[in-house]
Amino acid sequence: GAVVSQHPSWVICKSGTSVKIECRSLDFQATTMFWYRQFPKQSLMLMATSNEGSKATYEQGVEKDKFLINHASLTLSTLTVTSAHPEDSSFYICSAGDVGRAGEQYFGPGTRLTVT
């Protein structure tokens, strides 16, 4: 089956610092990856759509200068939370779809970010 990995699985950082989260599709190529944020006991909220070789598409209300997305290759997308604040603490999850199987999205294991 399709496997998506994320690194790190959890991270604690100080307020004002930046954190980079990696999302990799291990056994398939993904031209599009998605980044979600999930607060405790809440739904998955799409932050942005990451497109290989082009700029990411951000959802309304998501600050593109704060959440930097880079989709450098068909298997790697990164999310950088810049100048993190405690309110950015959340569970960040990426997903990717196999280009050969339109529609199915495979989620990474998630990254729990805590900003102190």
Partner 1 sequence: QQPVQSPQAVILREGEDAVINCSSSKALYSVHWYRQKHGEAPVFLMILLKGGEQKGHEKISASFNEKKQQSSLYLTASQLSYSGTYFCGTEYPAGNKLTFGGGTRVLVKP
**Tokens 């990426």, residue located:** 94
Residues 76-95 that bind partner 1 (CB under 8 A): 93
Is residue 106 near partner 1 by the rule CB under 8 A? yes
Q: Which is nearer to partner 1, 23 or 115 (CB)?
A: 23
Compute the half-sphere exposure of residue 56: CA atoms within 13 Å on the CB side of its CA: 26
Choose one: 14-22, 67-75, 82-90, 107-115; the region binding partner 1 (CB under 8 A).
107-115
Applying CB under 8 A, among 11, 13, 44, 74 the residue interacting with partner 1 is 44
- Listing DSSP states for the chain in one string gives ---EEEE-SEEEE-TT--EEEEEEESSS--SEEEEEEE-TTS--EEEEEEETTS--EEPTT--TTTEEEEEEETTEEEEEE-S--GGG-EEEEEEE--TTSTT--EE---EEEEE-
Residues 19-38 that bind partner 1 (CB under 8 A): 32, 34
Applying CB under 8 A, among 27, 83, 109, 114 the residue interacting with partner 1 is 109
Choose one: 14-22, 44-52, 68-76, 82-90; the region binding partner 1 (CB under 8 A).
44-52
Is residue 54 near partner 1 by the rule CB under 8 A? no
Is residue 110 near partner 1 by the rule CB under 8 A? yes
